[in-house]
């Protein structure tokens, strides 16, 4: 009788395992198109055996059928890790390429009117002026071309700054996404623990949701993770815990201190920090590199491309002095660490340097500063002694740069000197002053009318010849005859040498593109090289991004080969489990009839 009842147990276990197989197969088919779903599989095990005797070689046992051992996910953890790493690297270079593409669009090099056309127009106007320097139409044309040149340059400069600032929105959006994913992973950790705490069931669907969040999180930032007993997942980024066993650490954004004056002002750039420690999430002292595997994460690439501040020509070091000063070395270090690695800051700085170079070169021809500084008598507060005050010994002196005495003058009735073509909005280039000029040999102070050059001061942004601070001299816009193209001395003769020198500045070497390079360029060569390097960087970022995207897709294909649902395979399993269920049912019917026959005959 006991043997007959064993048959019932075998049949029942067959029904139960077949039903589990049917349910699992149906669940797979229903989620065939669900993003992030991993195929599930029923694993069986023997239940237990009853010993009915012992032979000379072994025990004589009868089995009680099988049971479900576990319901497992078909995933490959190695492929999961590789996929998240490669999508993170793709995100890093995607952010860089997007920045380059936007900058190229701003300069109009890919479509629209390129900025080079503005340079061409200015050059053409200078060429025509050289041919007919005494022609008022030619002078008016140069003033108009200069005004158009500056306004176009200011539009581009403004667009670069606006785009740089607009990236704050993307930075905040990325941080918000990371925090959201972290919160969701933490919630799933808790749910998985509740389901699996009894050790009876495995929360596979919840694990799929968590793995999908890890995929999304891995593109935004470089992550590492480990699962502990109980089902909770620990997630780390940049050496900091994101999610722990019930613990969550969020990121935050805040305006960073202005690099030029951190104690008194703030930049318009967002910095990303940890809420719990108020420390920066990303340390760019060690720049991301493919060799070290640190070029991972869209957010990191975005911050690197954006930079930490707006840049101008003072951020691009010129030729190194001999011997090299501490200030120059500090500026060079910042360039190598920050400026050169930020697509937008490098574009801002190099473009501003070009505009500054063109502007100052033209101004220096029209209004050259005296080659040697003059000694000017100053009072106890180090300010010039201005007549009618008396400069009597003893007095101290201070060196000043003044307009050269043989500088060209305007063609107006007063032969006015000192009218540069490009002025700063808030400060004239030269200030007309009556001073006491001291003879260095005799020490005698002589009253003299001087045009004192107002030098730029890097600590005062309004004194710099930056693109945003420039405008065409309003005096020349009202009367182009004030343009200094006549010889000094009041003869009224046109200074042919000045007009020729305006042409020559375009032919002379202007600057290197990079302070670490020795090759110097003319204005045209500089702009061409600047745009070319920008295009080359964009092509590199695009190539790497596309390569990483293809690599991630290849890994995803391998993942799907393991975890993806094949409806054909699942339909085959459905038929298999259906037949197994039917077979178990018929087996129970046979055992039932046998038991009935035995009972009725007793």
Measured in whole angstroms, how far is the alpha carbon of residue 270 from the centre of its chain?
12
List, in order, residues 6 or more apart from 167 with CB less than 8 Å away.
Answer: 99, 302, 305, 306, 344
- Domain spans, the chain: 2-74+571-601, 80-344+531-554
Quote the pLDDT of residue 83: 95
Residue 259 has pLDDT above 80, yes or no: no
| 258 or 375, greater pLDDT | 375
Residue 46 has pLDDT above 90, yes or no: no
List, in order, residues 6 or more apart from 345 with CB less than 8 Å away.
Answer: 164, 307, 308, 309, 310, 311, 315, 338, 339
Give CA angle at 253 (252, 257), nearest 5°: 130
Q: Contact at 8 Å (CB) between 299 and 171?
A: yes
Kindly write down the DSSP assignment for every residue of 288-341, as one continuous string: --TTTT----HHHHHHHHH-SS---GGGS--SPPSSPPHHHHHHHHHHHHTGGG
Q: What's the average model confidence in pLDDT over 147-164?
A: 95
CA pair distance 333, 314, nearest whole angstrom: 14
Which tens digits make up the pLDDT trace of 477-499?
A: 999 999 999 988 777 788 889 98
Residue 235 has pLDDT above 90, yes or no: yes
DSSP state of 259: S
Which tens digits make up the pLDDT trace of 173-212?
A: 999 999 999 999 999 999 999 988 877 778 889 999 999 9
CA atoms within 13 Å, Cβ hemisphere of 436: 22
Confidence band for 109, pLDDT divided at 50, 70 and 90: low
Confidence band for 58, pLDDT divided at 50, 70 and 90: confident
Quote the pLDDT of residue 412: 86
Residue 221 has pLDDT above 80, yes or no: yes
Residue 262 has pLDDT above 50, yes or no: no
Percent of the chain with pLDDT over 90: 57
Q: Contact at 8 Å (CB) between 509 and 460?
A: no
Quote the pLDDT of residue 201: 79
Confidence band for 121, pLDDT divided at 50, 70 and 90: very high
Give the chain's radius of gyration (CA, Å): 40
Q: What's the average model confidence in pLDDT over 255-276?
A: 71
Quote the pLDDT of residue 265: 47
Q: Are strands 240-243 and 233-237 parallel, antiparallel or unpaired?
A: antiparallel
CA atoms within 13 Å, Cβ hemisphere of 420: 27
Q: Is 131 helix (H, G, I), strand (E, B) or coil?
A: helix
Which tens digits make up the pLDDT trace of 433-445?
A: 999 999 888 888 8
Quote the pLDDT of residue 263: 40
Backbone phi, psi, residue 463, to 5°? -95, -5
Backbone phi, psi, residue 73, to 5°? -85, 140
CA pair distance 102, 97, nearest whole angstrom: 9
Residue 142 has pLDDT above 90, yes or no: yes
Residue 415 has pLDDT above 50, yes or no: yes
Three-state SS annotation for 371-397: CCCEEEEECCCCCECCCCCCCCCCCEE
Going by C-alpha positions, the residue among 85, 205, 106 that lies closest to residue 163 is: 106
Q: What's the average model confidence in pLDDT over 24-50?
A: 84
């Amino acid at each position: 009788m006991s043997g007959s009842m064993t048959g019932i147990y075998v049949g029942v276990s067959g029904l139960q395992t077949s039903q589990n197989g049917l349910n699992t197969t149906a669940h797979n088919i229903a989620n065939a198109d669900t993003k992030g779903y991993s195929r599930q599989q029923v694993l069986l095990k023997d239940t237990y055996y009853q010993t009915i005797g012992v032979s000379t070689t072994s025990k004589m046992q009868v089995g009680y059928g099988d049971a479900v051992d576990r319901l497992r996910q078909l995933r490959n953890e190695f492929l999961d890790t590789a996929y998240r790493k490669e999508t993170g690297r793709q995100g890093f270079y995607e952010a860089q390429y997007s920045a380059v593409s936007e900058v190229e669009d701003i300069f109009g090099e890919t479509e629209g009117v390129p900025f080079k056309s503005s340079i061409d127009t200015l050059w053409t106007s200078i060429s025509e002026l050289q041919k007919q320097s005494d022609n008022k139409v030619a002078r008016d044309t140069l003033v108009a071309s200069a005004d158009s040149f500056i306004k176009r340059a200011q539009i581009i400069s403004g667009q670069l700054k606006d785009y740089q600032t607009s990236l704050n929105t993307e930075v905040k959006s990325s941080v918000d996404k990371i925090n959201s994913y972290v919160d969701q992973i933490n919630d799933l950790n808790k749910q998985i623990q509740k389901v699996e705490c009894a050790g009876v069931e495995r929360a596979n669907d919840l694990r799929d949701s968590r793995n999908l969040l890890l995929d999304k999180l891995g593109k935004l930032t470089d992550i590492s993770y480990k699962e502990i007993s109980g089902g909770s997942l620990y997630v780390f980024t940049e050496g900091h815990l994101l999610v722990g066993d019930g613990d969550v650490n969020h990121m935050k954004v805040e305006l960073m201190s202005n690099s030029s004056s951190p104690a008194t002002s703030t930049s318009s750039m967002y910095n990303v920090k940890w809420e719990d420690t108020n420390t920066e999430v990303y340390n760019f002292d060690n720049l991301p590199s493919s060799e070290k595997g640190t070029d991972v994460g869209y957010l990191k690439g975005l911050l690197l491309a954006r930079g930490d501040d707006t840049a101008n020509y003072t951020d691009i070091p010129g030729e190194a002095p001999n011997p090299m000063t501490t200030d120059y070395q500090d500026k060079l270090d910042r360039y190598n660490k920050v400026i050169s690695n930020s697509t937008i800051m490098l574009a801002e700085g190099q473009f501003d340097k070009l505009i500054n170079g063109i502007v100052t070169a033209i101004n220096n021809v029209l209004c050259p500063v005296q080659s040697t500084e003059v000694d000017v008598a100053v009072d106890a507060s180090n300010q010039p002694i201005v007549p009618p005050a008396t400069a009597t010994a003893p007095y101290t002196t201070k060196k000043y740069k003044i307009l050269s005495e043989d500088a060209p003058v305007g063609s107006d009735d007063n032969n006015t000197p000192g009218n540069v073509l490009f002025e700063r909005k808030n400060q004239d280039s030269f200030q007309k002053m009556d001073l006491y000029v001291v003879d260095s040999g005799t020490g005698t102070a002589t009253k003299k009318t001087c045009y004192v050059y107002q030098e730029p001061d890097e600590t005062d942004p309004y004194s710099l010849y930056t693109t945003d601070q420039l405008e065409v001299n309003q005096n020349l816009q009202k009367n182009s005859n004030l343009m200094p193209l006549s010889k000094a001395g009041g003869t009224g003769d046109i200074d042919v040498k000045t007009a020729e020198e305006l042409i020559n500045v375009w032919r002379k070497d202007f600057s290197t593109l990079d302070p670490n390079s020795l090759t110097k360029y003319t204005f045209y060569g500089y702009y061409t090289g600047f745009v070319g390097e920008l295009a080359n960087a964009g092509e590199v970022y695009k190539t790497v991004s596309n390569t990483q995207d293809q690599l991630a897709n290849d890994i995803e294909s391998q993942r799907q080969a393991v975890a993806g649902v094949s409806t054909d395979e699942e339909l085959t399993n459905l038929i298999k489990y259906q037949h197994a269920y039917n077979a178990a049912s018929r087996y129970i019917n046979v055992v039932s009839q046998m038991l009935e026959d035995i009972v009725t005959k007793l």
